[in-house]
Amino acid sequence: MITAEITHLFFQQYWWLLVSLLGALLAFLLFVQGGQTLIYTIGKTETERKMIVNTLGRKWEFTFTTLVTFGGALFAAFPLFYATSFGGAYWLWIVLLLAFTLQAVSYEFRSKAANVFGKKFYEILLFINGLVGTVIIGTVVGTFFNGADFSLNMLNNVTWHNETRGLETLLNWHSVSLGLSVFFLARILGALYFILTIQDENIFRRSKKQILINLIPFLICFLSFLTYLMIKEGFAVDANGTIFMEKYKYLHNLLDMPIVLASLLIGIIGVLWGVLKTLFGKNNYEKGFWFVAPGTVLTVFSLFAIAGLNNTSFYPSIADLQSSLTIQNSSSSLFTLKIMSYVSLFIPVMLALAIISWRAINKHKITEDEMNEKNGKSY
């Protein structure tokens, strides 16, 4: 029995790490969303905007698929979270889903003849997706540390205790500060991606300016989020599965798991290094994206890790503390987790294929000439 429990815990942790990895990859891929909010800020002419939309348009499906896979993995590995959060925080998720629904068609329809609503309409949809998508995803992750307003009955059916069904989270400054951090970071990543992939002096110059402009609010939001996270009480769980409040819980988690601490610090340094080198480096440094992107992955990965590992409740209930979800009480059965773990071996294969495809498409920078070519697909 004990062995089965330990094995089960092993797989629960393994799956939490995978979910963390997917969440972290998603955060980095949100550069597409961030970029979408800069189309008009950076693109001043029709051709510039076309270049921006096209460089993002070649990657939007990666972000989208990662989001879908992230949701699927959560459902398969932690179905009680899926049931509780999606059914409970109804409006929060619906708004997020709608934001992504609008995105999916916008690239394809934007420049097509007879698209009914006009080019500008689809660009507005892209902006909405970029703003709402990033802020809400970040805010939802914020609830991992601040809790949500639900309780569960004997059959694990969810009751939500706030009529706004999740929107109340938008009033929690700490969760929202993470949401805004994601938004500003996504914009920085978006601008860095333009610098990386578009051959155009004006876009380069304006992107650089936008990085600086977004860096300041990003730092304010992220540092206040992180500082408060380190000093706040956290939702801990004891060996019997009882939830209790522990002072400095998330700081303790970092200190208890030095690898996670290292990952967080390296991540933050990576982000700052990439940004500063782009801003102040010599010879028009263009590859800052490749520091900020992995930096983002490491940072977000660490945040997920301290939310769910080391006897922590990753989806705490503020309405009924004992209804809080941990990776143990919300996970799939050992059997299902094992099956899914075989499936997870495909993740590196898919990542490798994604890298091959990414490189094949990004071999050359996007140029004005390419946009004006009649031969080939463009948005």
Q: Are 302 and 221 in contact (CB under 8 A)?
A: no
Which residue, 219 or 340, has its beta carbon nearer to another protein? 340
- Any idea how long the chain is? 379
d(CA 100, CA 81): 21
Confirm or reject binding of residue 124 to another protein (CB under 8 A): no
Confirm or reject binding of residue 33 to another protein (CB under 8 A): no
| Number of CB atoms found within 10 A of residue 260's CB | 22
Task: Give the CA distances from residue 248 to residues 68, 220, 230, 236, 327, in Å, rounded to whole numbers and listed in that order.
Answer: 33, 21, 6, 10, 20
Confirm or reject binding of residue 261 to another protein (CB under 8 A): no
Which residue, 75 or 273, has its beta carbon nearer to another protein? 75
Confirm or reject binding of residue 154 to another protein (CB under 8 A): yes
Task: Give the CA distances from residue 3 to residues 10, 233, 326, 378, in Å, rounded to whole numbers and listed in that order.
Answer: 10, 32, 20, 56
d(CA 129, CA 178): 17
3-class DSSP assignment, residue 325: strand
Confirm or reject binding of residue 5 to another protein (CB under 8 A): no
Confirm or reject binding of residue 104 to another protein (CB under 8 A): yes
**CB of residue 80 vs another protein: minimum separation in angstroms?**
6
Q: Are 297 and 27 in contact (CB under 8 A)?
A: yes
Confirm or reject binding of residue 367 to another protein (CB under 8 A): no
> Angle at CA 372, nearest 5°, toward 370 and 373?
65
Confirm or reject binding of residue 14 to another protein (CB under 8 A): no
Confirm or reject binding of residue 199 to another protein (CB under 8 A): no
Confirm or reject binding of residue 357 to another protein (CB under 8 A): yes
Confirm or reject binding of residue 28 to another protein (CB under 8 A): no
Confirm or reject binding of residue 339 to another protein (CB under 8 A): yes
Find the binder of another protein among 9, 80, 251, 276 (CB under 8 A): 80
| CB-based burial, 4-34: b 16+ in 10 Å, e otherwise | eeeebeebbbbbbbbbbbbbbbbbbbbbbbb
Confirm or reject binding of residue 372 to another protein (CB under 8 A): no
**CB of residue 88 vs another protein: minimum separation in angstroms?**
7
**CB of residue 151 vs another protein: minimum separation in angstroms?**
11
Confirm or reject binding of residue 116 to another protein (CB under 8 A): yes
Confirm or reject binding of residue 100 to another protein (CB under 8 A): yes
**CB of residue 357 vs another protein: minimum separation in angstroms?**
5
Confirm or reject binding of residue 159 to another protein (CB under 8 A): yes
Reading the block at residue 189, the tokens are 């990543």
d(CA 137, CA 34): 13
Among candidates 95, 154, 156, 81, which has minimal Cα distance to 316?
A: 81
**CB of residue 287 vs another protein: minimum separation in angstroms?**
21
What is the total count of residues that contact another protein (CB under 8 A)?
80
Which span sits near another protein by CB under 8 A: 30-38, 39-47, 95-103, 180-188? 95-103
